[in-house]
Amino acid sequence: MHAVAGPPLAPWRAWLAPWVLFLLPVGTMTVPEWNSALYVVLALVLALPPQPGWRELSRWERGVLLAAAAYFAVTFLSWAANGTDPRLFFKRLEVDLRYLLTIPVYLLVRRVPDAERWLLRGCALAGLGLVAEGLYQVEVLGYGQAKGVYHHIPFGTFSALVAALLLDAAVTRRGEGVWRLLYALGCAGAAAAVLLAGSRAGYLNLLALPALWVVLRLPRRAKLAAPLVAAALAAGVWSGSDMARRKVAAGVADIQRYLAREEVRDARALGSLETRLELWRAALALWREHPLLGVGPARWKPQVQGLIARRRAPPAIGHYNQAHNNYLHVLATRGLLGLAALLAMLGIPAAAFLRAHAAGAAAAVPGLLVVAAFALHGLSETPLKTGKEATVFLVFTAVFLAAASRAGAGGAGAAAPAPATP
């Protein structure tokens, strides 16, 4: 991979950009609209006008950025082809534009040499904040599940990602003094927050991401321990969390009930997994009617209600505004072109990180953990539909791709010198 040549950042950008990256994860799930506000600073204040350096990027870096731009383009085409209320279009635009703005954001981050260190240190504080928020909500407020300021599912999945990133940082980032201890404490705190959230998606990531880390980081013979790590974590979650046992039991019961009958046509409440299965059927039905560009990004709900009116879906799913599966939701709302862009947006960074990992770039492993976390989360939710989660995916991927690219250009893969602060 290639280094970016050109003049350094303006002093005010060089000072402010690392602090934005440091603060971004800290309040993502505990302060309303925290990372959206910081993203405005990052993308509209710091990254515009775009920094020079596009020509010096590797083909892999360009591929990642063009995939995000393609996802935005297909979304816009689907809006145009299907028509919608202009108010809905502009309401969604602040999320959709983030994919296009990934290009200037990346060109900025590429010129902050220790960006990944600032981001990981912010994650360390985030891990401690997540468990504190979770304990307060469950033990003091009496909530059944920790949810932060949004919902227990994104709270749990974000906590699992933070735990995995801090596991890697605690083990590999030597010479950082007290921060290495904070990485370990933050990792433990974020893992505990997953249990407090009680989200099956969070449990899945908490099991899968450390197993992936073992495969990527440990010597070849030790890689065989990955299934054992996942099994040990599963046993720990099962034995230590009554909520986890209840969630798994409820999921099994949902599937058994669903398979025990041929059709669901009444308006009674469905179980969680039953609902998802019906939503997935509805998504495929909508895609068959609009195969190329889908029904439109803002037309999921009225289209599903149309299926219900035609008795092709149960009334119980009529109030949902998503398919509870990122891939099927994009297929239904943006068609085959949208699904291709989504898969490229996940697959090209994964391939770039695998290539960088083979070359010895240390930042490739956390980058792969980010992509894997969102790929897994997308099996049961639509994380890239919301601004807060899209920001995490885009910024975290950009930071670790830039670090892996710089390491590849230097040929060593070593971490950048530690900043004086934070």
Q: Can you give the pLDDT at residue 352?
A: 97
Summarize pLDDT for 341-381 with one digit per residue, the tens: 999 999 999 999 999 999 999 999 999 999 999 999 999 99
Report percent pLDDT > 70 for the chain.
Answer: 84
Is the confidence at residue 4, as pLDDT, over 70? Answer: no
Higher pLDDT, 236 or 399: 399
Look at residue 8 in the predicted model and tell me its pLDDT: 83
d(CA 374, CA 342): 11
* Every domain of the chain and the residues it spans: 11-49+91-236+404-410, 247-317
Q: Does the structure show a pLDDT above 60 at 128?
A: yes
Residue 256 pLDDT: 67
pLDDT tens digits along 209-235: 998 998 899 887 666 666 776 677 667
pLDDT value at residue 404: 95
Query: Over the chain, what HEC string results?
Result: CCCCCCCCCCHHHHHHHHHHHHHCCCCCCCCCCHHHHHHHHHHHHHCCCCCCCHHHCCHHHHHHHHHHHHHHHHHHHHHHHHCCCHHHHHHHHHHHHHHHCHHHHHHHHCCCCCHHHHHHHHHHHHHHHHHHHHHHHHHHCCCCCCCCCCCHHHHHHHHHHHHHHHHHHHHHCCCCCHHHHHHHHHHHHHHHHHHHHCCHHHHHHHHHHHHHHHHHHCCCHHHHHHHHHHHHHHHHHHHHCHHHHHHHHHHHHHHHHHHCCCCCCCCCCCCHHHHHHHHHHHHHHHHHHCCCCCCCCCCHHHHHHHHHHCCCCCHHHCCCCCCCCHHHHHHHHHHHHHHHHHHHHHHHHHHHHHHHHHCCCCCHHHHHHHHHHHHHHCCCCCHHHCHHHHHHHHHHHHHHHHHHHHHHHHCCCCCCCCCCCC
Mean pLDDT in the chain?
88
Q: Is residue 100 over pLDDT 70?
A: yes
Q: What is the pLDDT of residue 255?
A: 67
pLDDT the model gives residue 163? 97
Out of 49-63, 214-228, 271-285, 320-334, pick the least confident.
Answer: 214-228
CA dist., res. 293 & res. 343, Å (int): 15
How confident is residue 260, by pLDDT bands cut at 50, 70 and 90? Answer: low
Could you tell me the pTM of the whole model? Answer: 0.90
pLDDT (tens digit per residue) in 228-252: 766 776 677 666 667 666 766 666 6
pLDDT tier at 51, thresholds 50, 70, 90? confident
Q: How confident is the model at residue 411 (pLDDT cuts 50, 70, 90)?
A: very low
Among positive and negative, which fits the CA dihedral 6, 7, 12, 15? positive
CA dist 364 and 128 (Å) reads: 25
Q: How confident is the model at residue 5 (pLDDT cuts 50, 70, 90)?
A: very low
Looking at residue 409, what is its pLDDT?
Answer: 61
The string of pLDDT tens digits covering residues 63-87 is: 999 999 999 999 999 999 997 777 8
The predicted model gives 302-314 an average pLDDT of 93
